[in-house]
């Protein structure tokens, strides 16, 4: 019986909050001062991680700046923990982005496989080593 009353009281309080709080907030006014900067946006971008090498037409469509192109100005590439022998597509796309004026940055997305519980960079957790945990906390996204 007591649990039923407590549950009813909580539900009633929730309903009152949902109905009353929006009314209490009312209309707000804001002022925009275009002469003051708090944050600068350097550009807009995307990631080409796990993407096949883009054709010239595709690269133009992504990073080109003509009227019909997206004009992205930042690209993020993946650093494959398997080593530079696996960076072919990532490097090719990074070079295409830079050639069109984009800012390029590359990041690892996982600790190396030898530091993971299943020996694979995908779908596993750190093996518990302090080095693995530090790398994961510092560099993984």
Domain ranges of the chain: 42-109, 110-141
Helices (H), 64-99: 88-99
Q: Name the nearest CA neighbour of 75 among 59, 86, 88.
A: 59
Contact in structure between 51 and 93 (CB atoms under 8 Å): yes
Query: Which residues is 106 bridged to in the sheet?
Result: 77
Local confidence pLDDT in tens for the 141 residues of the chain? 555 565 566 776 767 666 666 666 667 788 888 898 888 888 999 999 888 999 999 999 999 998 899 999 999 998 887 778 878 889 999 999 999 999 999 988 777 777 777 777 777 666 666 666 676 677 665
Q: How far apart are CA 54 and CA 37, in angstroms?
A: 36
Instruction: Tell me the two tokens of residue 94.
Output: 């990074």
pLDDT at 7: 59
Q: How far apart are CA 95 and CA 138, in angstroms?
A: 26
pLDDT at 52: 92
pTM tops 0.85: no
pLDDT at 43: 93
pLDDT at 83: 76
93 C-beta neighbours (distance < 10 Å), count: 25
């Amino acid at each position: 019986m007591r649990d039923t009353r407590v549950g009813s009281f909580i539900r009633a309080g929730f309903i009152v909050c949902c109905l009353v709080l929006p009314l209490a907030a009312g209309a707000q006014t804001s002022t925009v001062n275009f002469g003051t900067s708090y944050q600068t946006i350097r550009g807009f971008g995307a990631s080409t991680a796990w993407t096949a090498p883009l054709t010239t037409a595709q690269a133009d469509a992504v990073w080109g700046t003509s009227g019909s192109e997206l004009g992205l100005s930042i690209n993020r590439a993946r650093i494959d923990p398997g080593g530079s022998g696996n960076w072919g597509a990532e490097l090719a796309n990074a070079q295409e982005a830079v050639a069109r004026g984009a800012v390029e940055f590359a990041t690892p997305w996982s600790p190396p496989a030898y530091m993971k519980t299943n020996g694979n960079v995908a779908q596993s957790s750190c093996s518990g080593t302090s080095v693995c945990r530090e790398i994961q906390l510092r560099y993984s996204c």
